[in-house]
Chain A
Amino acid sequence: AQTVTQSQPEMSVQEAETVTLSCTYDTSENNYYLFWYKQPPSRQMILVIRQEAYKQQNATENRFSVNFQKAAKSFSLKISDSQLGDTAMYFCAFMKRSSEKLVFGKGTKLTVNP
């Protein structure tokens, strides 16, 4: 079974600064996808960024980028120029290519301070 571990239950950052959220996973699969989802106080689950395991290039979406280390099974999220609206719970998630279900980590609660 796949497991996803987020070792930082809570983090805080000052507005306009950079913060990195950690995620590690355990799998014997070779083909899979990794995701970061954001869940603001509204509880909506919003996809932030995704990474295909077969791609070596790290995914980037505007201020959000990942550091994907396949051998280390690590998938961290970097948020640059943090904004107050980035305050949310962030979930790292894994999906193997042959399946459709997401396996989530326990989440990291990020607070951006003015």
Chain B
Amino acid sequence: AAGVIQSPRHLIKEKRETATLKCYPIPRHDTVYWYQQGPGQDPQFLISFYEKMQSDKGSIPDRFSAQQFSDYHSELNMSSLELGDSALYFCASSSPLGTEAFFGQGTRLTVV
């Protein structure tokens, strides 16, 4: 069965650079979520989209932005990267009326 696809899997950036993470949800899933998991931490909700509209917002820094496109894939744009942004970034998706979120394998971002 198709799963949530995230790219890239690994990313190394320098401070003050920008990064774009991509997420391709499971086919026919219309909701996408982004989570950030720092080293040794639990995942923290960043933002979610339903039918291409932002549906909820968590502790997402102003330096970050995200959107969901017409094909339901989503991109998380991160600017002015800081060392503290180093983390595993998960994307998850769920189906219409679904309550179960299926997670991708994550993008490991390292800021040096």
Contacts and interface: CB of A to CB of B under 8 A. Distances in A.
B48 A104 contact: no
Interface residues of A, number: 23
B76 interface: no
A13 interface: no
Contacts of A104: 42-44
A101 B45 contact: yes
A19 interface: no
A50 B100 contact: yes
Contact of A45 (B41, B94, B99, B103): B103
Interface in B70-102: 88, 90, 92, 94, 99-102
A102 interface: yes
B58 interface: yes
B33 A101 contact: yes
A43 B88 contact: yes
Contact of B48 (A35, A101, A105): A101
Which of B41, B58, B99, B105 has the most chain A CB atoms inside 10 A of its CB?
A: B99
Contact of B50 (A33, A91, A100, A107): A100
A100 to B, nearest CB: 5
Contact of A102 (B45, B50, B105): B45
A91 B43 contact: yes
A16 interface: no
Interface of B: 31, 33, 35, 41-45, 48, 50, 55-56, 58, 88, 90, 92, 94, 99-103, 105-106, 108
6 contacts: A43-B106, A44-B103, A44-B106, A100-B48, A102-B45, A106-B42
4 shortest interchain CB distances as A-B pairs: A45-B103, A104-B42, A101-B45, A100-B48
